[in-house]
Structure 1
Amino acid sequence: MQFRHQFHFSSWLALILSVLGIYGIADAGSSTLVDGWLHWRGPYQNGTSSDTNLPDRIEIGGANHLWSFDLSGRGTAVIATYQPGFSAAPDGEQLAGGDRIYVWGYRGERSDLVEVLACLDAESGEVIWEHEFPDFISDIIYNRYSIGSPTVDPQTGNIYLMTTPGLLLGLDHDGNLLWQRSMMEEFGRLTFPNGRTGAASIAGNLVIVNAISTNWGREGPGRNRFYAFDKINGELVWSSTPGVGPPFLKDSSFSSPRFDWHDGQPVFYVGTGCGNIVCVNVRTGQPVWRFQFAAGGVNSSVVLYEDAVIAIHGKENIDDTGRGRMVAIRYNGSTDPEIKGSTVLNSSAELWRNDDLSMFTSSPVIVGDNVYQVTVKGELVCVDARTGQTRWHKKLGADQLHASPVHADGKLYIPMWHDGLFIIRPTNDGAEILDQVQLEGGCLGSPSIWNGRVYVHTTKKLYCFGGDRVGPNQPAMPIHKAASTPQPGKLMPVPAEFLIRPGESQAFDVRNTEGDSLGVPMRMLAWSKFIPDSAKVKSEIDGDFNDDGILVAAPDGNRSAGAFRLVKQIEGQSGGEGVGYIRGRVLPSPPYSEDFQGFQLKHKRKDGRSFSYPPLPWIGARLKWHHQILM
């Protein structure tokens, strides 16, 4: 993979001086030196902003059209404010602060098309640095690139991005590559012609991404999975499969996690490609519950209201012949004990439903007791968050795709796919259109608002609108953080999954569920090969742990895959006090060839023909192909 770039260095960014909790969510008292619209859903995770003095009307080329940047895009730009005192190192020079824009787009045609991550000066729109990323081995069609967004970490100021073909990147503020993971090649992440990629999310020390994948072993079946990586070194901390497969898994999903606290544990709520809203433990990836309300992808992100999750979809309903629905689900709804797997909320968890609404990808915005949603038919709808009743609706265009409203300064800023940017003042009784301005290109990304500026990215360029800046900026989102302690009995070796070659080694950092390294002598850690009872293929890794606690593959190691079980021993006592697991593969070093002559046809098809499965370590292979002799 070629990492092409151009640099135009600025001199005032660096590492952050204050730190949030390891896996915590910032509370109102948190203080950082990096602030801003750091994720496409904004600082409140719901598409709202506390900015004021924003324009009621916009004139292209007028006084409040501050600048434009020529770059095609289909997502949302993010803005980072680096406060004075932001330094490159603990003992480094204290540098001046400022705002930077990170924008994700594409340029070129057909085989010359590349995706672009650009860093811009917020005042002038001038390029500070940029990187280009060619496509490789994907199913994306040419007009579906960059349907996603970068994300900025408030602790370090680093930028995280997943490209359309599935390169997950961590970069510093100067555009230097910190680490890179190829989700397709390492974990079997799939791509689809729709190109929907979404944005990485930051939770403490974790970078979390949403993907449909077909890996190996228990993760071989195609499912919607979430992967959490250490944001500093890119190592996999956990993977989670909270949903189900066919017939409900019919689509990809780029729904973004909504973080909160549930029963004293940090969790996120998110839609899946299998028609579920799921709740997942942030620290461990353990599914908490799921609620099945569609057959197909739930791409819209959820919002929270009191003790409920509000979500919308535009696919098939599971209990009638209609398509599309908005629902409110109780956090602590009743479960269905007859359904195996993660806890499944039954229909009694549903507070209300509105079957008149349908939307595939645009996310709702919640302001007070009002939920604002743009539907697939191009209508802006106001829904009572308490009852689900439609208060009013306003026709804006023929249809809508992807872009979500943003609320700030008492106004809604709504980009429409074909009909430009609307500025609307909503009330409980209706909507007043303040302005409609036609922009160059279609609008698929949501606006971002920060420090008196409104940014809108179209399929032609990024626009910056605004007037006089006013301050201070909005405070951190107030979240009531519950007291939390590590979960007893659970260890988390990192990386959670590995790939090594014959003769290579792999070290592990053993952590508790808070993300803290245990720092215990290796004699207190006992590793053993492990085959789950549910494993359909009984397989072990061709390698072992040495006395230093390092996993070493045999020098002439065979192609293999398997798992290890870790127990933390208590000195002087039998048994252990904590258990953890890793899984991984040993594969031959390249160059590698396979003539299939050594395969033994041990299995029988229904028609009586003999065949063999692909090797277990081949990702995405066992459930798709088999080897047989054709006569």
Structure 2
Amino acid sequence: MLRFSVLAVCSLCLALTSLSSASAENWPRFRGNNGQGISPETGFPVTWTEDDYAWVIDLPGLSHSSPVVWDDSLYVTTGLNDGSVRRLLCLDAVTGKEKWQRDLTLNDVHLHNKNSFASGSPATNGSHVVAAFADEGQFIIACWTKDGQELWRNDLGEFISEHGPSCSPIIHKNLVIVPKDMKGPSSVTAYDLTSGKQVWQTEREFNRTSYATPIVRTRKDGIEEVICVSGIMGISAMNVNTGELLWRAERFPERTVGSPFLTDNLVISVSGGGGKGKNLYAVELDQTGQVTPKFTLTRTIPYVPTPVYKDGLIYMILDVGVASCLDATTGEEIWTERIGGNFSGSPIWLENKLYVIDEAGTVVVLAAGREFQELGRVPLNDLSYATPVVANGRMYLKTATKLYCLPKK
């Protein structure tokens, strides 16, 4: 069972009554709506103390995944017993109390020292929740109702990677889309959300394992496309309903870990290795066939953390503790500042501020804009590779073993 910290009941009650439905929003997948890392909510502090949390809980096992939230349900994955148990937890998003848990039995697998047995985030649409877990011999994608009833489970076969598995599936309308770009025969597969039947599967060239999570958009011609990233496939897009390849950019020279993100007219992604970003490609949207990036960058870019775009600016937190801001149209540097620490989690944009957690578990808050300003730091005092989550008037901050709920003021 989860162990609760001592809570201030009056603080929780105040948080519940202060929620504004006008700005409240769910966080259904890794990095929120369509993976963009943006929240419209307001009223969160830049510094706080332990007394400001609505609740803090200990999570079983260890994981580097980020939670997802829909209404009063929060879902998070974890791994226990040296990877033999992979667990999906459903918590009450308001109180932190456990609603249900579901376990899958898998085998141990070699991991990179920054990976875990549950690094991939689940996804939900409110009525369903999906999660993916893998070892060397099996790649399981499973679907449950919001009440924890398992609807289906599929095995995509072996997962070959020198760094171990991590996959965050996405839900788009009636489809579950699962990327499997690995060091062996690779694919992107779409399943029917309610039945688990395969709708399409597109085979992909393979080389190094990719850990990027797809995004979906509607093209100017009305076609919905799912944009995926891997080293050898570069940035590419498929028809979300058929899996047909629509376009692809040149391949990345290195591995892709960070996920693609959108600006007003570009899709951007990065590659790297050895703890450093090495290439950034920015590709114009609504193209077909083989495409060429509008611009590329080879310095001062992240490898693992995914950048965030807002109002013409790209904000990047580098793995090695450097923050940077770029003009989204040209890639021109606006500012670059050292903030210290090491980062694997991604930044989010919230009310003209950036929130990100470093690997030592310190929440760093920066001003978002053309002038650099550090606004605050709050220690969580535990290893963290997770990305902050904001949903329905609450911010959720996860470490490897704990989950914090910070209500807005």
TM-score with structure 1 length normalisation? 0.57
Note the alpha carbon deviations across 1:513-544, whole angstroms, 9 max, x for none: xxxxxxxxxxxxxxxxxxxxxxxxxxxxxxxx
**Is the alpha carbon distance of 1:139 and 1:237 closer, same or farther for their aligned partners in structure 2, counting shifts above 3 Å?**
farther
SS of corresponding position for 1:224: strand
In 2: Cα distance, 1:213 partner to 1:388 partner: 30
In 2: Cα distance, 1:65 partner to 1:44 partner: 27
**Is the alpha carbon distance of 1:405 and 1:213 closer, same or farther for their aligned partners in structure 2, counting shifts above 3 Å?**
closer
Note the alpha carbon deviations across 1:8-43, whole angstroms, 9 max, x for none: xxxxxxxxxxxxxxxxxxxxxxxxxx9611111212
What's 2:51 paired with?
62
Counterpart of 2:280 in structure 1: which amino acid? M
SS of corresponding position for 1:133: strand
What's 1:415 paired with?
357
1:52 to 23, 42, 52: 42
Counterpart of 1:300 in structure 2: which amino acid? G
What's 2:213 paired with?
256
- What is the 5 A alignment of 1:316-331? 324-331=278-285
What's 1:135 paired with?
106
**Is the alpha carbon distance of 1:411 and 1:293 closer, same or farther for their aligned partners in structure 2, counting shifts above 3 Å?**
same
In 1: Cα distance, 2:162 partner to 2:185 partner: 17
What's 2:172 paired with?
203
In 1: Cα distance, 2:392 partner to 2:76 partner: 17
Q: Is the 8 Å Cα contact of residues 73 and 457 (structure 1) preserved in structure 2?
A: no
**Is the alpha carbon distance of 1:390 and 1:65 closer, same or farther for their aligned partners in structure 2, counting shifts above 3 Å?**
farther
In 2: Cα distance, 1:257 partner to 1:329 partner: 15
**Is the alpha carbon distance of 1:467 and 1:359 closer, same or farther for their aligned partners in structure 2, counting shifts above 3 Å?**
closer
Counterpart of 1:58 in structure 2: which amino acid? W
In 1: Cα distance, 2:233 partner to 2:180 partner: 14
- What is the 5 A alignment of 1:221-260? 222-242=184-204, 244-245=205-206, 249=207, 251-260=208-217
What's 2:382 paired with?
441
Note the alpha carbon deviations across 1:447-485, whole angstroms, 9 max, x for none: 1101121112111211111234xxxxxxxxxxxxxxxxx
- Structure 2 unaligned segments of length 5 or more: list them: 3-23
Q: Which has the higher contact order (CA 8 A, sep 6+)?
A: 2
Note the alpha carbon deviations across 1:364-383, whole angstroms, 9 max, x for none: 11011111111132211111
Deviation at 1:138, TM superposition (A): 4.2
What's 1:121 paired with?
92
Q: Is the 8 Å Cα contact of residues 114 and 133 (structure 1) preserved in structure 2?
A: yes
What's 1:212 paired with?
181
Deviation at 1:44, TM superposition (A): 4.8
Cα root mean square deviation, aligned:
2.5
What's 1:393 paired with?
336
What's 2:130 paired with?
160
**Is the alpha carbon distance of 1:168 and 1:127 closer, same or farther for their aligned partners in structure 2, counting shifts above 3 Å?**
same
User: Higher strand proportion, which one?
Assistant: 2
What's 2:152 paired with?
179
Counterpart of 2:230 in structure 1: which amino acid? T
- What is the 5 A alignment of 1:444-593? 444-468=385-409
What's 1:91 paired with?
none
In 1: Cα distance, 2:251 partner to 2:371 partner: 30
In 2: Cα distance, 1:136 partner to 1:439 partner: 31
Q: Is the 8 Å Cα contact of residues 360 and 381 (structure 2) preserved in structure 1?
A: no
Deviation at 1:233, TM superposition (A): 0.8
Note the alpha carbon deviations across 1:260-303, whole angstroms, 9 max, x for none: 12222110212114251001110110111111241232221112
**Is the alpha carbon distance of 1:197 and 1:105 closer, same or farther for their aligned partners in structure 2, counting shifts above 3 Å?**
same
**Is the alpha carbon distance of 1:323 and 1:420 closer, same or farther for their aligned partners in structure 2, counting shifts above 3 Å?**
closer
Deviation at 1:407, TM superposition (A): 0.9
Counterpart of 1:125 in structure 2: which amino acid? G
SS of corresponding position for 2:51: coil
What's 1:624 paired with?
none
Q: Is the 8 Å Cα contact of residues 162 and 200 (structure 1) preserved in structure 2?
A: yes
**Is the alpha carbon distance of 1:144 and 1:393 closer, same or farther for their aligned partners in structure 2, counting shifts above 3 Å?**
same
1:312 to 262, 266, 270: 270
Q: Is the 8 Å Cα contact of residues 323 and 358 (structure 1) preserved in structure 2?
A: yes
Note the alpha carbon deviations across 1:204-259, whole angstroms, 9 max, x for none: 21100011369xxxxxxx343101111111111111134x34xxx2x211211111
Alignment length (residue pairs)? 381
Deviation at 1:196, TM superposition (A): 3.8
- Structure 1 unaligned segments of length 5 or more: list them: 7-33, 82-98, 215-221, 317-321, 336-342, 469-631
SS of corresponding position for 2:26: strand
SS of corresponding position for 1:241: strand
Q: Is the 8 Å Cα contact of residues 201 and 208 (structure 1) preserved in structure 2?
A: yes
Q: Is the 8 Å Cα contact of residues 267 and 280 (structure 1) preserved in structure 2?
A: yes
In 1: Cα distance, 2:357 partner to 2:370 partner: 22
- What is the 5 A alignment of 1:29-48? 36-48=26-38
Q: Is the 8 Å Cα contact of residues 224 and 274 (structure 1) preserved in structure 2?
A: no
Q: Is the 8 Å Cα contact of residues 270 and 302 (structure 1) preserved in structure 2?
A: yes
In 2: Cα distance, 1:176 partner to 1:211 partner: 25
Q: Is the 8 Å Cα contact of residues 58 and 65 (structure 1) preserved in structure 2?
A: no
Deviation at 1:332, TM superposition (A): 4.7
What's 2:255 paired with?
297
Please state if 1:427 is matched with 2:396: no
SS of corresponding position for 2:120: strand
Note the alpha carbon deviations across 1:337-376, whole angstroms, 9 max, x for none: xxxxxx322xxx3222222133322111101111111113
Q: Is the 8 Å Cα contact of residues 208 and 227 (structure 1) preserved in structure 2?
A: yes
Please state if 1:280 is matched with 2:248: no
Counterpart of 2:48 in structure 1: which amino acid? I
2:290 to 331, 336, 344: 344
**Is the alpha carbon distance of 1:169 and 1:128 closer, same or farther for their aligned partners in structure 2, counting shifts above 3 Å?**
same
Counterpart of 1:73 in structure 2: which amino acid? S
In 2: Cα distance, 1:141 partner to 1:383 partner: 31
Note the alpha carbon deviations across 1:146-180, whole angstroms, 9 max, x for none: 111110024xx110010133211110111111000
Q: Is the 8 Å Cα contact of residues 146 and 164 (structure 1) preserved in structure 2?
A: no
